[in-house]
Amino acid sequence: MTEIPRETFSLGGDLPVSRIGYGAMRLADGPEPARSAMEAHIWRAPADRAGAIALLRRAVELGVDLIDTADAYALGANEELIAEALHPYRGDVTVATKVGVVRPSPTEWVTHGHPAYLRQQAELALRRLRVERIDLLQLHRIDPGYPLADQIGALKQLRDEGKVRHIGLSEVSVDELRQASEITPIASVQNMYNLAAREHDPVVDHAAEHGIAFLPFFPIAAGSHAGPGSPLAEVAAEIGVTPAQASLAWLLRRSPTVIPIPGTSSITHLEENVGALSVKLTDDQYDRLSGAV
């Protein structure tokens, strides 16, 4: 595979990472086969553990240095898998994790933002990841049952104790991001965003304006938007790349602080996704994709 150019963004102003990361949620199994990525149960460690470890190591070989996980993915087994594959982490590998969601069953994701719970889960993440400090700790969801200041305050306390380097949020609005930023610096925001799901355009713009990393999950447009005859398929054919690569290239151009974190359990797809760093859209191609919603 040809060498991939290294284009970086500095998380929190001091932690440079490549502009395509890896979302590790897909490295999990459920009690039954998932009908789609959106319906995956993310309940147990993968049956093919060796294959998952090989994929994580291949990602690092390709220059992927931001690995995103959560304590809720396979009840912590996802964090343990990352540690088994990559620890001791090279100096340029950044691991981000999330706290604030409870998993009482394979199909339930329950927001829980009690400050003591958030701190406890961070302590467990430190053990599972085998680190003394988490590079990026993200609040998985804001819990309306507790004051935002208390939830962000719990993460700030961990950072003040030296257990967290940077703090991020997930699935938030511009107003929520502003409120959190008044309490402590926010290094990243992770919302669902892709060519076909653009409701968080204002958050993308706000993040760019304030130097905050925007980590879109499910970043690759799918369905009819990427089907035969679609603008995405047409642009991809013009460049000679896959629709997935064109979709990621649009995100990379959309904002200089966007860092897509596509997930996959296939090394072939992983290599395809990282290859999007080499794809350049013309102004016309970018505009056609931007208007094709």
> Is residue 236 helix, strand or coil?
helix
Return the ∠ at Cα 94 (arms to 88 and 222), rounded to 5°: 125
What does the DSSP 8-state code read for residue 108? Answer: -
Give the H/E segment covering residue 57.
Answer: helix 49-61
Compute, in degrees rounded to 10, the torsion defined by CA atoms 226, 228, 234, 238: 110
* Ordered DSSP codes for 73-96: GGGGHHHHHHHHHHPSPPTT-EEE
- Active site (catalytic) residues: 73
Which residues in 71-106 are b (16+ Cβ under 10 Å) and which e? bbbbebbbbbbbbebbeebeeebbbbbbbbbebeee
Nearest by Cα to 21 from 184, 134, 190, 143 = 190
Nearest by Cα to 118 from 171, 69, 157 = 157
User: How far apart are the C-alpha atoms of 26 and 45, rounded to whole Å?
Assistant: 10
C-beta of residue 277 within 8 angstroms of C-beta of residue 19: yes
C-beta of residue 138 within 8 angstroms of C-beta of residue 170: yes
Give the H/E segment covering residue 56.
Answer: helix 49-61
